[in-house]
Structures are given as structure tokens and as C-alpha cells.
Amino acid sequence: MAKMKAIEAVAKILELEGVTKAFGVPGAAINPFYAALRGLGTIEHVLARHVEGASHMAEGYTRANPGNIGICIGTSGPAGTDMITGLYSAMADSIPILCITGQAPRARMHKEDFQAVDIESIAKPVTKWASTVLEPAQLIGAFQKAFHLMRSDRPGPVLLDLPFDVQMAEIEFDAEAYQPMTAYKPAANRIQIEKALTMLNESEKPLLVSGGGVINANADKQLTEFAELVNVPVIPTLMGWGTIPDDHALMAGMCGLQTSHRYGNANVLASDFVLGIGNRFANRHTGSVDVYTKGRKFVHVDIEPTQIGRVFCPDLGIVSDAGAALDLFLEVAKEWKAAGKLKDRSAWVAECQERKRTMQRKTNFDNVPVKPQRVYQEMNKVFGRDTTYVSTIGLSQIAAAQFLHVYSARNWINCGQAGPLGWTIPAALGVVAADKSRNVVAISGDYDFQFMIEELAVGAQFKLPYIHVLVNNSYLGLIRQAQRGFDMDFCVQLSFENINSPELGEYGVDHVKVVEGLGCKAIRVYKPEDIAPALEQAKKLMAEHSVPVVVEVILERVTNVSMGVEIDAVNEFEELAEKGVDAPTAISMLD
């Protein structure tokens, strides 16, 4: 076998596990790893401006394509703690990323050495596994285990902390003999599937709820085929959006308190049975359990045993990878259809379609300053079916989910449970890094945009082009709306008169100047009729310069976006669509 530095073996293992790209920030304690990457020469490195940004880039990279695992790198002191938000976000949404940190030498770890912290203990609650590797010869097994864990069961992140002297030690490593471990995925059995299908078949108004686990399993095609076979409408969760195209006859809308469609909530409330696949029954989808479960039975299929019964006890729980379950659902359903056992669902489907046709929100507002609904209407006009949208949190994300259209899995890339401000820019860069030919459009409010705005320089430096739609109301809009219940508007205003940009009035930060200072392009829009031309111009600028292009739309300061405390009590603050002209880009026309 060949003798080499332990960290050189680590770099080679990454290559053998399929890694071609990494995101990070060099530091003294991780420099041996950077030297190994440079010597290997097969893994491209993207230099972030903030280590939290690197972790979100790794998330975006993983979420972009099946099989991807994003890598983020830094030291184990402030860089490691900066990564915690990314690890939490990845853990919450079942996203495998690998954080590699460089630690002080073993003899100095307990002596409060410079930038030495117990990152293993800090990271444990937000990872599948976190470990400081104390023996050089254990590095091979540690990284082999890391990739196995990330891919097995419910996917998730891992952090490996590498003391400086462990990295530098010599070990024996035979790269030709190395083999990735086979991932383990639990699979449903036929008895379980037949029981679930029997319950579905006995119901009158069944629905499928399709979650992010279907996307993680790369099983969106099976989901759509199964829905078509049994002729049952589908309610995707926010994390499962795209598992069935928005314009499919069986797409029955999203359900929830915020990121939902009126017809999605109405269809759930009219149902008597729900088969959830790869979803968590999260509270933004369900609202209170009493309202969500009343009058209906549930089957819950999830890869993680402890997710079943976490929110409420289903009538039947099945522990299975979504893809494995759907393969078996298809097999049994085909047999039952051939035998004439499947119930005719045409009347129920027509009922759901009629709600989809008639229960639309208005988007066609001509107000100046612009109402946010109009922004998404114009985006629907300009951006095609292959567009990949990236967003994280806020009224901008909620309105995007209510008004945009998604037609394929992984064309809505969203931070679901954690929702950290600042996630959108680095995540979008990670998606583009995974595939530069992809049409990527990010959506942010001004506060999310300002959190990690420095990462736009990464897009300029590494030629990672995408369009970023920035809706600016100079407010923490979602929190302001939530404060209505406390009868206050306190500490949420971002407005001020910018002495260097008086033309902005009270809108404060001059995003155009900042974006251009970071090496990117920017366009500002004040009128609704100028939005579409600006988006078309952004496409041309992006193609010409291969950098991110920001389109900032100046919004009215206060808009209350549809939301509520229960799925049967969503407040509609604006006029509803009564005819086609009120919502000209709605997925299902009113007339």
C-alpha cells in the first residue's frame, strides 16, 4: 500500500465518493486539506465570503440534482460555528452536506488554543453525526462512514473535525481498494401497501400528499404515475412542490397557513382520506391537528420511523423510502386496475378541478408603488417551464408560493423548516455551481437580500450567473404582519433617507450601488409595466456578462399577504379574482 499524509487520503476519498466541487474559506488549521485539494486537482473550489454562505452554497448544490452532496470547508473555531446554521437548515430538510473543519493540534485542544472550540459538541444536535477524529488511521473509516450516513435512511448532514497534526500524519492508504459503502434505505412490504391501497380504495374523496422525501428519493415520476393510475388528486407540500406539474389535472394545490392555494386548502377540507408520502405534516402545512384531521383517515409513509406519529397518530404508518414505497404502490395498483378493483374517481377529480379553476387570488394590480402580487404575475409571463426558483423566508417567499408556477421536481429549491435570512443568495449560487446551464431565478425581500449580500461577489468571481428578483418594501414584512396581532409596528422598519441616494426617498439602502460594487449587474423598477422588460433585460445582461443580475422592484411599503391561523380560516386581505383578467397568469383560468 502507499504511504501518504492522512489528509491526502481524505482528499482522494472525496474524489472516490464522487465529489467534484467544494465551497469554503481557508484558514490556518485547515490549510493541510487545501494543500491536498490543490495536489489532487480534481475538485473545484468556490471561495465564499462568509463560512455560513459556504454551508448554504453546499445546500444549494445538494438540492440541485439527485445524488449531489455539497462540501463546505473551514476552521473549527468561528468558521465551524458559522456553519451551524447551514447544518441546522440541512438537518431540518433532510439534505446531506459534509462540513470539514480544521482543528488545533490534539495536544492543544484542551488549552483554549486560538480558534479551538469543541465543534463536535456544538454540531451534534444539528447533524446525523459529528466527530473530532483523533487518530490519523481512523480518517479513512470516518469519511467512509460519513458518506454512508449521509446517504442512508433519512438523509442529513455530517461534520468531521480534523486536528492539524492528524491531518499531517502519515498513514497507509490503498485508493484502488477503497469502495463506498452501500446506502441503506428501508422499504415497505406488500402487506403494508395493500392495506394502504385498500384504505384509499374504500374512501370517497382521497388525496395524496407529496413531500420532500419524494424529491430526495428522485421519485417524482413514480408519484405522478401512481396518481394517474389511481386517479387521485395530489397536494404537494412546499418541500414537495414540483413532484407533479402545476398544470397537471391532478395537481390539487398546496395546503397550509401561508404558502398555500385557496383551492388547495378547500380540497383538503373536502377530503375524507389522505395518503402522505415523504412528508412531515409540518405545522405550516396542517395548522392545528384538530382542524386538519377532522373527518378524514390518514396513511403516513416516511423513511424516518420517529416521524410517524410525531404530529398525530395516523391510521396506518409505513416506514419506507418514498421511492421504494411508490414502486410497490405502482405494482399493486396496476394489478388491481387490471382486475377492475380500482374505484372511479372522475367526479371527485372534477370537483377538485372546479375549485382550482374558480378559487384564484387577484394578481393584476396597476398600483404604483407596485403591489407584490403583480411582480409574480410578470415573472410567470417572462420565465419558462424550466425555470428553477430559489427562496427561503418572508412575505416574498409566501407570495411566490401562492402565485408562481412550478412544473418539475427540484425547480422549487426552498429552505423549509429553518428558514434563515440570507440563505437565498448563497443557495442560488450553489444551484448554479451544480449546473451553469440551468435557468435559476431567486426571490428575496430586502432583509433576506441584505443578510449575505457579500456572496454576490462569489457569483461575479466564479461566473455563476442567475437572476435575483428583489422585492423591496423597506420592511421586515412578515414580522410586521405578525405584529398586527400585538397591535404594534415596532423595530421592523428598514426605511431611512439615504444621503447618497436621495432619489430612493425613504427606501434606504441603495441595492443597485451595492450590487454593482460587488461586480454584478442591477436594474431598479418603479412601475408594474416596467417589470417584464426589466426581467428580459436581465436575461440579456446575464448571458452577456455571466454574473448574477438583480432586478429590484420598489413595492408599496405595506401589503398583507394571505395567511391565517387555520387552514379553514385564512385571511384574504386583497380582492379575489372574479374573472380571467384579474389573474391572467393563473394556472387554471377563471373564464
Give catalytic residue positions.
25, 51, 421, 476, 479
The whole-angstrom separation of Cα 295 and Cα 547 is: 52
Q: State the DSSP code for 528.
A: G
Amino acid at 270: A
Cβ neighbours of residue 331 under 8 Å, at least 6 residues apart? none
Cβ neighbours of residue 582 under 8 Å, at least 6 residues apart? 360, 362, 363, 364, 575, 576, 590
The whole-angstrom separation of Cα 39 and Cα 165 is: 19
List the alpha helices (DSSP H) in 111-211.
119-123, 139-151, 164-168, 190-202
Phi, psi of 324 (to 5 degrees): -65, -40
Q: What is the dihedral of CA 565, 566, 567, 570, to 10 degrees?
A: -50
Q: Which residues pair with 550 in a beta bridge?
A: 468, 522
Helix (H) or strand (E) holding 316: strand 316-319
The whole-angstrom separation of Cα 572 and Cα 560 is: 9
The whole-angstrom separation of Cα 555 and Cα 117 is: 44
Phi, psi of 537 (to 5 degrees): -65, -40
User: What's the count of helices (H) and strands (E) in the chain, helices before strands?
Assistant: 24, 21
Contact in structure between 459 and 429 (CB atoms under 8 Å): yes
Which of 272, 270, 228 shows the shortest CA–CA distance to 251? Answer: 228
Give just the sign of the alpha carbon dihedral 489, 491, 494, 500: positive
Residue position matching grid coordinates 473555531: 77
Cβ neighbours of residue 350 under 8 Å, at least 6 residues apart? none
Q: Which residues pair with 438 in a beta bridge?
A: none
Contact in structure between 84 and 50 (CB atoms under 8 Å): no
List the alpha helices (DSSP H) in 359-506.
372-382, 395-403, 424-434, 446-451, 456-461, 477-483
Helix (H) or strand (E) holding 34: helix 31-40
Contact in structure between 387 and 404 (CB atoms under 8 Å): no
Contact in structure between 217 and 240 (CB atoms under 8 Å): no
Which of 382, 422, 362 shows the shortest CA–CA distance to 562? Answer: 362
Q: What cell was used for 496? A: 431611512
DSSP 91-137: HHTT--EEEEEEE--GGGTTTT-TT---HHHHHGGGSSEEEE---GG
The whole-angstrom separation of Cα 303 and Cα 281 is: 14
Q: What cell was used for 390? A: 430559489
The whole-angstrom separation of Cα 503 and Cα 492 is: 22
Q: What cell was used for 530? A: 416596467
